[in-house]
């Protein structure tokens, strides 16, 4: 954080408590993508937040936040995301589908005492996973994020870890965020520099294809030689939206072999 400018302070004002900066309409956080709107959470989101925070996968991989009633959810929104908006200018946002206005999940930057920089957090209701929404929301958050961004994940949460790797987060090691918590996998956001990204794109403009295990359609994908001789990742079929585990292997001559299996 940049050091603050020095200024004269009236001694009489030292006894006054510091007041948070007043937020204006221009400071309200909002991001738009092709399919999504990311907006600030409000008390009216309590029913949705209660449903999300009590889902089995949320409790298993993220934790029990003590939210069991609508009143608990409203308190969580006020003391968590909304307090973070005022203090840091960022926080967890509601991920809303633009087509129908349905809240799908949350995504945003979180400040934790145990980490030196904000970390990316995301969670979707189970019925909205495997449709690319988490990646789309996360990219919108990262596009407006400060230079240093971290992420933490339960080491058994393979789906979240794959997403972080897709978003260009690099694994740094295991770390406890607080003494009483278990060790989590720590990642750092390290996107390619523009020049490097341009070189990588020039070196990897080839394409491959596979037959979707769900619908049988031929799916054409870009190939990235720079990502390694053996690659595996999950992507949704653009035709039927079924999730596929895609495998790409390059031989010694640079020829690519692509296969896919239902995820």
Q: Which residues contact 52 (CB under 8 A, 6 or more apart)?
A: 58, 105, 106, 123, 124, 125
Please return the burial class of 140, using the count of CB atoms within 10 Å of its CB with bins 0-12, 13-18 and 19+: buried
The pLDDT, as a whole number, for residue 19 is 44
Within 10 angstroms of residue 129's Cβ, the number of other Cβ atoms is: 16
The pLDDT, as a whole number, for residue 43 is 97
The pLDDT, as a whole number, for residue 46 is 98
Structural domains of the chain, ranges and CATH numbers in brackets:
28-147 (3.40.630.30), 205-262 (no CATH)
Successive 10-residue mean pLDDT values, the chain, 263 residues = 42 43 59 96 98 97 96 98 96 97 98 95 96 95 96 96 95 91 94 57 66 86 76 85 84 73 86
Distance CA 229, CA 246 (A): 14
The pLDDT, as a whole number, for residue 210 is 85
The pLDDT, as a whole number, for residue 26 is 42
Beta bridge partners of 109: 120
The pLDDT, as a whole number, for residue 193 is 66
Distance CA 144, CA 12 (A): 39
The pLDDT, as a whole number, for residue 55 is 98
């Amino acid at each position: 954080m940049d050091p603050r400018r020095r200024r004269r302070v009236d001694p009489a004002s030292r006894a006054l408590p510091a007041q948070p900066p007043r937020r204006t309409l221009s400071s309200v956080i909002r991001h738009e993508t092709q399919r999504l709107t990311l907006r600030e959470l409000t008390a009216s989101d309590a029913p949705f937040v209660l449903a999300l925070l009590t889902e089995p996968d949320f409790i298993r991989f993220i934790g029990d936040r003590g939210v069991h009633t609508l009143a608990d959810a409203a308190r969580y929104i006020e003391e968590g995301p909304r307090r973070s908006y005022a203090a840091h200018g960022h926080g967890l946002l509601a991920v809303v589908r633009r087509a129908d206005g349905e809240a799908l999940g949350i995504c945003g930057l979180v400040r934790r005492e145990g980490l030196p920089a904000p970390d990316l957090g995301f969670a979707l209701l189970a019925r909205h996973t495997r449709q690319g929404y988490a990646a789309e929301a996360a990219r919108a958050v990262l596009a407006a994020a400060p230079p240093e961004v971290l992420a933490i994940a339960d080491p058994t949460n393979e789906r979240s870890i794959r997403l972080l790797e897709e978003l260009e987060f690099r694994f740094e090691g295991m770390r406890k965020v607080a003494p009483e918590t278990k060790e989590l996998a720590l990642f750092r956001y390290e996107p390619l520099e523009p020049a490097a990204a341009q070189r990588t794109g020039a070196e990897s403009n080839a394409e491959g294809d596979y037959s979707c295990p769900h619908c049988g359609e031929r799916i054409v994908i870009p190939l990235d030689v720079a990502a390694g001789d053996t690659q595996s990742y999950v992507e949704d079929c653009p035709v039927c939206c079924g999730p596929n585990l895609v495998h790409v292997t390059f031989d010694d001559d640079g020829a690519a072999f692509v296969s896919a299996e239902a995820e």
